[in-house]
Amino acid sequence: MSLLNTYRTEVEAFVGVCRRLAGNRFVTSHGGNLATLLEEDVILITATCLAKGDHTPEDVVFIDRKGGRIEGKNRPTGEVPMYLTFFEERPDIKSVIHCHPPCCGAFAVADYDNLLERPVYPEICIEIGPVPVVPYATPLTQKLADNFKPFLPGHNAFLMENHGLVLLSPGDITWACHLVEELELAADSLLRAAPLGAVKEIPRESLVEMDGVLATRGLTICGAPGVNSGIASLYYPG
């Protein structure tokens, strides 16, 4: 049986997220890409040079951990080196979305303090964590993939300098999409708040209490297992 048939449910959800990203205008034209780890050596990934809103189940591509195509009529996205790095460096991660939501994109190109690294909204602190800026490198290159490496152990979401957003999730691709939407809405609010004056931050003692929310909801703190000791330490180290 083909991988497409074996993983029909996962592929349908995957294509649904492609279309949802396009519908939200988080991707345009051929921009953005996404991937899900299905088996130890089977990755479901978007096709190159095909708009996300036009993806069908027959358009997706299955690759192995070396980037070789296992199944699919199309070539995979040219960002394969980036995805292979993510799954290699973070074995706890199952789903990845790279897209260009406009408000997050504003933080990726602006030359001022990155408010997405600060504790402003409880939901972001609990479900996503701080969002650092990964230095710019040319798209589709191993250099771009390598630039993520110092940030990967401790974070699950990243602004790509002068480029866009990447979000990693230990959950499925639909959950990853929900987190992208959550982060974009937070970025929108921050852009509206910034001109009004200093943005208020959640104090350290309140972040300590959020560790209990993680436990209650059965969530894991951002970053690789065992790297981060608590939510407060993410925003107030030392």
Instruction: Give tens-digit pLDDT for 136-166.
Output: 999 999 999 999 999 999 999 999 999 999 9
Q: How far is the CA of 33 from the CAs of 39, 156, 175, 193, in angstroms?
A: 19, 17, 16, 30
Fold designation for 3-235: L-fuculose-1-phosphate Aldolase (3.40.225)
Q: Which of 64, 63, 60 is nearest to 74 (CA)?
A: 60
The answer to whether residues 191 and 114 touch, using CB atoms and an 8 Å cutoff, is no
User: For residue 105, what pLDDT is reported?
Assistant: 97
Please write the tens of the pLDDT for every residue from 42-96.
999 999 999 999 999 999 999 999 999 999 999 999 999 999 999 999 999 999 9
pTM of the model: 0.96
Where in the chain are the domains? 3-235
